[in-house]
Structure 1
Amino acid sequence: MVSRVIPVDPFDLVIFGATGDLARRKILPGLYRRFCDGQMPPEARIIGAARTEQDSAAWRAQVVEAIETFLPASKRDPSGVKAFCERLSYVAVDATGDAGWADLKGEIRDDVVQAFYFSVAPSLFGALAERLHHFNIARQDARIVVEKPFGRDLATARELNATLATHFNETQIYRIDHYLGKETVQNLMAVRFGNTLFEPLWNSQYVDHVQITVAEEVGVGGRGAYYDKSGAMRDMVQNHLMQLLCLTAMEPPARFEPNAVRDEKLKVIRALDPVPPEHIVRGQYKAGAQPSYLQDVENTASRSESFIAMKLHIANWRWNGTPFYLRTGKRLKARKSEIVIHFKETPHSIFDADAGNRANVLSIRLQPDEGIDLRVTIKEPGPGGMRLIDVPLDMSFADALGPEVADVPDAYERLIMDVIRGNQTLFMRGDEVEAAWGWTDPIIAGWEGRGDRPVPYEPGNTGPEEAAILMHRDNRRWREI
C-alpha cells in the first residue's frame, strides 16, 4: 500500500501540561511518528509549557525518554529522534498567574497555524484561555484542544463552554475524544455511506438489535481517586460509547463536513429515550489475583461502578423498536471494543426445520485487531441434506491491505493533525456535549437518589450475571468478550 501522507501547513503547537502523563504517553510520541512519516513540515515547531522550572534541553531529554519508553524500537531511530527534538522548545508558565507568559508570547510566530493543546485538568481551561487572551498570544484563528472530562454534569459542561466561549468561538475549540480518531470508527462511516449494500438495510425493518462493547482487562489502577468520582457512566458511556452510538445510528449527513456530521450526531442524542432502572446493570469487580475495585480506589463505601450495561431506544423512524445494548467495564475477560449489528432472521425459511434459521451479523472491531467481519449463511459442506451454518467474510485490515496498514497513525496522531488542518469533523461540538450530559444526568441522579449499589462481579469474566439476564429477557445474548 502506497503512503498518501500530505504535509500539513507550518504550525506552532503549544502543549500545556507538557511534562504530564498524557503528553508523555500519547501526544509527544504521536507527534514524533508524524514527523518521521513526513507529515510535519520543516517549519513546524512544538513548544512545551508547564509549571516545572527547567530549560529546553531538560525537556528534550524527557521527550527522548518518553519516545523510548512508549514506542517500540522498530518505530524509532536515534537520528530521527535527534531531528525531531530540534523542533522542540520549552517555557515554564504559571497557569493561574503571570509568570512565563511574556516568554511564551516571544516563542509564538504570527505567520503559521497556531494551536494550543490543553493537556491539563479542566479546572485550568478557563485560566489558560484567559491568559492567552490577556497576553495577546492567540490570534483570532488560533485553535485550542481540550481533553475530557468536559464537565462532570450538564451544569459544569455549560460553565466550561461559557468560559471558553468568552475568548474563543466554537470554530476554534476542538474537544478531543480519541475514540473518534480510530481507523475503524471512521471506517464505520465508509461502510455505511460508501456502500449501497448496507445503508438500505440500516434500520429497524432489517436490524434486530445493536451491541456496542468496550471491555478492558485492566482495573482502575493509579486512576482510583479520579475514577471513583466518575464511574464508568461518566468516564466511558457519556463520551466514548455515546460517540460510537451516534456514528452507528445517525442519518446520512448531506456532506462529509464538520457541522453536517455533528448535526446528525446531535439528533441521535436528542432522540434517546429515558432509560428505566430495570434496563441498567452496574457492577464493581471483586478481588482475585489483583485487588478489588474497593481496594483500588481505597474507599470501602464506594457506590461508583466499574462496569455498566444498558438497553437504550432511539425514538425516531429509523430505529423505532430496535434496541441498542451498551456495555463497558474494567477487569473483564479480554480487551475488546466492537460495534455489532445483528440483522433479523429471514422472514420465511424455505428449508426444513432441521436446517435451522440464521441471521447475518456485521461486526466492526475497534481493538485490538481492527477490522470488519460479516457473517453470512451457507450450506454446511458435505452430504446429509441441507444444514445451514454461518461463516465469516472477514476483512482484517492487516491481511487485506498489507503490512503497512499496521503502522497507520493512531488516534491521537490523526486528531492532532486534523487540528492543524482545521478539520473539526471528528471533534465534539459544545451543544453535542451538553446534550449528552442532559441525557446522562437523570440516569445518574436516579440511582443516586435510590441509593443503588453496584453488584460485585468476578474479575477476568464478562461482568455481572445481571448483565446477561438483561439480554436473556429479550431472548438475546451478548457477543463473547
Structure 2
Amino acid sequence: MVKTSYKKSNPAILIIFGGTGDLSKRKIIPALYNLFLEDRLPDKFAIIGTSRGKLTDEKYRTVLLNGINEFSRRGKAQKEDWAKFSANITYESADIKDPVSYKKFASNIEALKSEWKVDASLLYYCAVSPDLFCTIAENISQSKIENNKDTTRIIIEKPFGRDLESAKSLNKKLLTIFDEKQIYRIDHYLGKEVVQNIMAFRFANAIMEPLWNRNHIEHVQISVTEQIGVEDRGNYFDNAGILRDMIQNHLLQLLCIIAMEPPINFNADLVRDRKVEVLKAMRKIVPGMIDTIAVRGQYGPGWVEGKEVPGYREEKDVNPASNTETYAAMKFYVDNWRWQGVPFYLRTGKRLFKSASHITIQFKEVPHNMFNNQERNIPKQNRLIISIQPDMAISFQLESKTPGLEMTLNTVDMIFDYAGKTRVDAPEAYETLLLDVISGDQTLFMRADQVEIAWEVIMPVLDYWENTKMANFPNYPADSWGPENAEALIAKDGYHWFNLPDTK
C-alpha cells in the first residue's frame, strides 16, 4: 500500500443498492479498492452490498474480486491487499422495495458504530435502475434508517429523469427526504482527470484569460465518439437515445466548464453557480429552428476492424422500426458578453470510426497575413486541443518557421501529455468522485437547478425528434463519422469537424 499525507475523512459506511450489478463490479468496487491501496479511505470503513440474491459474505467477495481483477487499472489484486480490503465487505440479501428489509441495514449500522465507538458518515449508493431511486429514498425515510443531515449522503447515478418534468419530480421527492447538500448526482465525466484540469488550465494561468473570449476564439467543438454499438443496453438505449444519454449531461457539462466565468474561489456552490449561469445564458431553441441547429442519425450495418456488425435496428432488444437516434450533432450559442456570437458545436454517436473524447478550441485567424500567399506559407489558425480519451493530453497548435533557407511555416504542437510527463498514475473518474463523496465535497456533482436547466435546454429538440419520425433511418454506416448532414451542419458556417490524428 502507498502511504500518503492525505488528511483522512471520518469513518464511513457505504451501502450499495445493486451491490451485485455491473456498475458495482466494473466501477465502484475497483475504485474503492484503488483508493484503499493509496491509503485514501478512512481508517475505519465498511462496505455493505445488497441485492435480492442469496450470497454469503465470502461468495460476494469472490464476485467482487473477479471484477477487480478484470477492470481495475492496477490489474489483478495482490492476495495480502485484497484480504485487508475485503475484511471490510459484507453482504445483505434484501428486497429494496420492502421497507422492512431496511431494518437489516439499521442493525448493521448500529453494530459498526458500537464496535468503532465513533460516529460515522453513512453513504447510500443507488447503483440500480433509475425507476428505483425514489423507492430507495422513500424506504430510507419510512424505515427510519439513519438520515443525519450532516453525515448522511445519497449517491444518484444518471440518468436523472428522462425529461424535464420527471427530473423535477425526482428532485422534489428527494428534497423532501434529504437536503441538497446530502444529494450527490454523479456525472462520471466530471471526475475525469483532464476534465478537472480544464479549470486549472484556465484559471491558474494568467496567459489564458485574455484569450478566452469572443475576441480571440472563433468556435468550440466538443466531440464524444464511440466505436461500439449499444451492446447489451438495447432495451435502455432504445427508450433513451443519444441526446438523453450523452448530450443532456456529459457534453453540456463539458460546455459549462469551457464557458463558465471564474468563481471567486473553489467552493462547491460557487463553482456550480457559474455553471448554472452558462446554462441560463444559452440561446433558447424554438421549434422552427431545430432542423438548422440539430442533426440526428442512426447507424446501419457495416464492418468494424474486419468484423461484420449489425445495424441498430438489428441489435438485441431494439425495435426493428426504431426512431431512436444513435448520433446527434448540435450547435449552441451562449448569449453573454464573453461568448456572444461564438458557436459551440457538440457531436456524439455510436458505431463511429473511432472512440475518442476531445474538445477543440479554434482561435481566429491572424488579423493580417504578412506572409506570401503560397499555400504552404499561409498561417493556419491556432487550436487548443483537450484530449480526454483514449489518450489524456492538452496540446496547443502554433505556427513556426521550418528550419531552412526559406520562410516556410509549419504547425507545431506544444503538448502536455499525461502518459509521458506525469509520474502519478491518473485515477479513474469513479475514484475521484467516490473520494469526494466520502469527504463531503460536492464540487464535481450536479445540483438540482443545474440538472433541470440542462433538461430545459434540450427539451425542444427532444420533443421534436420524438414526435417526428425519420424516414431515412439508418442514415450512416457503421465505421463512419456519422450522417452527411452532420458535416453540412458545421460546413455551412465555414468550418469542419476536427478529428484526432490517425483517423479517417
Q: TM-score category by the smaller chain?
A: over 0.9
What is aligned with 1:413? Answer: 431
Is 1:17 aligned to 2:18, yes or no? Answer: yes
- Unaligned 5+ segments in structure 1 are none
Aligned mates of 2:499, 2:5 — CA distance in 1: 37
TM-score normalised per structure 1: 0.96
Among 322, 325, 338, the residue aligned to 2:342: 322
RMSD: 1.7
The separation in 2 between residues aligned to 1:287 and 1:264, in whole angstroms, is 43
Bigger shift: 6-15 or 71-80? Answer: 71-80
Letter of the 1:139 partner, please give it.
Answer: N
1:127–1:365 Cα change, 3 Å: same
1:235-263 Cα distance to aligned partner (Å, 9 max, x none): 00000001001001111111111110111
| Contact preservation (8 Å) 1:8, 1:417 | no
**Residue 85 of structure 2 corresponds to residue 84 of structure 1:** yes
Cα distance in 1 between the residues matched to 2:200 and 2:74: 33
Report if the CA contact (8 A) 2:69-2:76 is conserved: no
Aligned counterpart for 2:389 among listed residues 367, 379, 385: 367
Native 8 Å contact 2:399 2:411 kept in 1: yes
> Aligned to 1:423, what secondary structure does the other structure show?
coil
The residue aligned with 1:290 is: 309
1:56-455 alignment to 2 at 5 Å?
56-71=57-72, 74=75, 76-109=77-110, 111-137=119-145, 138-141=147-150, 142-275=152-285, 276=289, 277-288=291-302, 289-296=308-315, 297-354=317-374, 355-383=377-405, 385-402=406-423, 405=424, 407-453=425-471, 454=473
Q: After superposition, give the CA deviation of every residue in 1:67-114 in whole Å (9 maximum; x if it has no partner).
A: 122236745211111111100011122211134211110111551111
The whole-number CA distance in structure 1 between the counterparts of 2:148 and 2:45 is 17
Matched residues in 1 for 2:382 and 2:241: separation?
34
**What SS does structure 2 have at the residue aligned with 1:230?**
coil
TM-score (norm 2): 0.91
Q: Secondary structure at the match of 2:232?
A: helix
Counterpart secondary structure, 2:475: strand
Alpha-carbon contact 2:99-2:142 (below 8 Å) kept: no
Which has the higher mean CA deviation after the structures are superposed, 344-353 or 25-34? 344-353
Letter in 1 for 2:295: V
User: Contact 1:378 / 1:388 at 8 angstroms: preserved in 2?
Assistant: yes
Q: Residues 75 and 392 (structure 1 numbering): CA distance in 2 closer, same or farther, change over 3 Å? A: farther
CA contact (8 A) 2:295 2:329 kept: yes
Q: Secondary structure at the match of 2:298?
A: strand
Alignment match, 2:305: none
Q: Distance in 2 between matches of 1:197 and 1:221?
A: 44
Are 2:503 and 1:479 equivalent residues in the alignment?
A: no
Taking the aligned partners of 2:60 and 2:354, their CA distance within structure 1 comes to 37
CA contact (8 A) 2:191 2:430 kept: yes
Q: Residue 232 of structure 1 contacts residue 328 of structure 1 at CA under 8 Å; is this kept in 2? A: yes
**Residues paired across the two proteins, number:** 477
Deviation at 1:390, TM superposition (A): 1.0
* Greater alpha carbon shift after TM alignment, 125-134 vs 240-249: 125-134
Note if contact 1:93-1:99 (Cα within 8 Å) is conserved in structure 2. no
The secondary structure found in structure 2 opposite 1:53 is: coil
Which AA in structure 1 matches 2:245? D
Residue 462 of structure 1 pairs with residue 481 of structure 2: yes
Q: Distance in 2 between matches of 1:147 and 1:114?
A: 17
2:3–2:38 CA contact under 8 A, matched in 1 = no
Q: 2: distance between equivalents of 1:74 and 1:450?
A: 47
- Aligned mates of 1:332, 1:456 — CA distance in 2: 12
Structure 2 CA distance, aligned partners of 1:84 and 1:214? 35
SS at match of 2:480: coil
- Structure 1 CA distance, aligned partners of 2:418 and 2:436? 22
1:316: how far off?
1.0
Aligned AA (2:10)? D
Give the 4+ runs in structure 1 shifted more than 6 A: none
CA gap of 1:295–1:342, structure 2 versus 1, over 3 A, is same
Question: Which residue does 2:116 correspond to in 1?
Answer: none
Instruction: Report how far residue 298 of structure 1 moved.
Output: 3.1
Shift of residue 455, structure 1, vs aligned partner: 5.1
Q: Distance in 2 between matches of 1:438 and 1:284?
A: 24
Alpha carbons of structure 1 residues 17 and 72: separation in structure 2 relative to 1, 3 Å: same
Gap regions ≥5 residues in structure 2: 114-118, 303-307
**Do the aligned residues in 1 keep the contact of 2:4 with 2:39 (CA within 8 Å)?**
no
